Amino acid sequence: MRADAGTALRGEPVGWDEEQGLWQVTGFDEASAVLRGDGWSSDPRRLPFAPPELAEFPPGVLLFMDPPDHTRMRRLLSPAFTPRAVESLRPRVAEIVEAALTGLGDEADLLREVAYLVPVAVIAELLDVGEEGAGLLLDITPDLVRMLEIDAGSEDLVVSAAASAELMMFLTPLLAERRRRPGGDFISAMLAVPDGLTLDEIASTCVLLLAAGHETTANLIANSVLALLRDPSQRPHLLADPVRSVEELLRVEGPVRQVVRTALTDHRLGGRDVRAGEVVRVHLDEVGRGQGPLDLARGPLPHLAFGGGMHYCLGAALARMEAVETLPRLVARFPGMTLRSHEWRDSSTFHALTGLRVAGLMRGAD
């Protein structure tokens, strides 16, 4: 047992977990230091408990890259995700949300019929893959996202690798077509980057956009709806200031529970000595909720829902915009909606539901 062992679950911001053989981080400052600091790796292949199936992951997945490769790809991709670039999508996102809400019956599973549909429709628009492509994206996401589970086992990774290969096969002729006849879509924009990206890197970015961008945005929307159903007194504050409210919802109901990093160098963290090669598990959910309870009436408190530093979520502006366009429309249109049932997903990585059934969706104004 380590001489400096402790447990973050006893209220310490950093503690050594003897059973799992890693550091647990729950303090905001300490989590921020890991996510924003140098000398940490996000490559899951470096983890001492990494399954061999990780070798089947598609190359060039930005989320799992370290410098210098990460630095180059991030520089090439960032212009497509600036707030200004994302803002141009707002009118179309609003149309997508309205279409999803119009299609609801008196009772519905809002996770499936709104939270999942809106982000996948937006991604389908970004990639310009048409209705057939949108259907494939929706079907393939549950298998694809299994690669992002911190505790993913061999079966998870095999299933996810197969889903990734299926998506790659779909994208390959699309990439060739866009190279010959570029359009105004995200794939064409990536192909046009000077000194640019390889075809494998572009395809892997599309995989990541679907696996991470779709899943996390869907979870944010659904989790936020559940919070508003449980505490209807928060709804007027959401309608008064959706942008501010989404930040507060991100802090308390953010879609990602935990992330892991491997120390590349020795660190002093929260009064503890983390040695090179050791793993830290950052509890984003506890970091956020530790700042205080949900209160949409006040200014938002700091959070790390989108990570920080070089791995700060590239699609953060897009996720925020989709939530800001969806949540107030849903609340304003269906003021009488009530919670029927909900189920939480069994996941150490995602703060996510498997179902969110509500009623009273025909009582609001059109």
pLDDT in tens, 119-150: 999 999 888 998 888 889 889 988 988 888 88
The pLDDT assigned to 55 comes to: 66
Region 48-64: what's the mean pLDDT?
A: 69
The pLDDT assigned to 363 comes to: 53
Q: Mind listing the domains of the chain with CATH numbers?
A: 48-256+293-333 (1.10.630.10)
CA atoms within 13 A on the CB side of 56: 17
Selected residue with higher pLDDT from 265 and 51: 265
Does residue 35 have a pLDDT over 70?
yes
The pLDDT assigned to 60 comes to: 63
CA angle 315, 317, 323 (to 5 degrees): 100
* Per-residue pLDDT tens over the stretch 209-242: 888 888 899 999 999 999 999 999 999 999 999 9
The two most distant CA atoms of the chain are separated, in Å, by: 64
The label of the residue with tokens 């790659």 reads 168
State the pTM of this model.
0.92
Cα 29 from Cα 74, distance rounded (Å) = 25
Contact 348, 151 (CB under 8 A): yes
The pLDDT assigned to 57 comes to: 64
- Helices marked H in 209-350: 215-230, 235-240, 242-253, 284-289, 316-333
Dihedral pair phi/psi, residue 42, rounded to 5°:
-105, 5
